[in-house]
Amino acid sequence: MNKIVSVHSSLKKNHRFITAMIIEKMEQKGFLDLRASFIDILLVVIEADEGRSIKEIGKSCALKKQTMTTHINELLNRGYIQKIRNKKDKRSQFITLSDYGLKFQLAIKDVMLDIEEELESQLGTIELESIDTSLSNMYSKMIKNNQ
């Protein structure tokens, strides 16, 4: 049990730390209204070229439907995202980036490169790649074993 507590704690601390770095650097680029949950949601939306459903975003971010609806509405009101109709199923909608969201996307790519360079200078390229590989393998195995 101590191992899983340690792993959970380490992952959470690192996630919080990196998210705080992202928010600070995005504020320097003029994006003053971001929260940690917004970053997670927007990164999921960025990954999907044609958009994602609210359900898919919620699953990726491990957020409940009610929480997702609140966050999506806030991001819509702030101009980061837009809803578009699913071409295959007119009853459903996808979430995509708005024009302002596309500006966010460009800025966050620069921010992520800056953070990656900072981490590489602190940890070294080999250690950072090892961490990335280990975490990716861990996630893949957990998903595979829980299906």
Q: What is the pLDDT of residue 102?
A: 97
Q: 84-118: string of b/e by CB count within 10 Å (b at 16+)?
A: eeeeeeeeeebbbbbeebebbeebbeebeeeeeee
Q: What is the pLDDT of residue 117?
A: 97
Q: What is the pLDDT of residue 127?
A: 97
Whole-angstrom distance, CA of residue 89 vs CA of residue 92: 6
33 in Cβ contact with 78 (< 8 Å): yes
Residues of the chain below pLDDT 70: 1
Q: What is the pLDDT of residue 1?
A: 65
Q: What domains can be seen in the chain, in order of their start residue?
A: 2-145 (1.10.10.10)
Those residues whose C-beta lies under 8 Å from the C-beta of residue 128, and which sit 6 or more positions away, are 116, 119, 120
- Interval 12-51: pLDDT, tens: 999 999 999 999 999 999 999 999 999 999 999 999 877 8
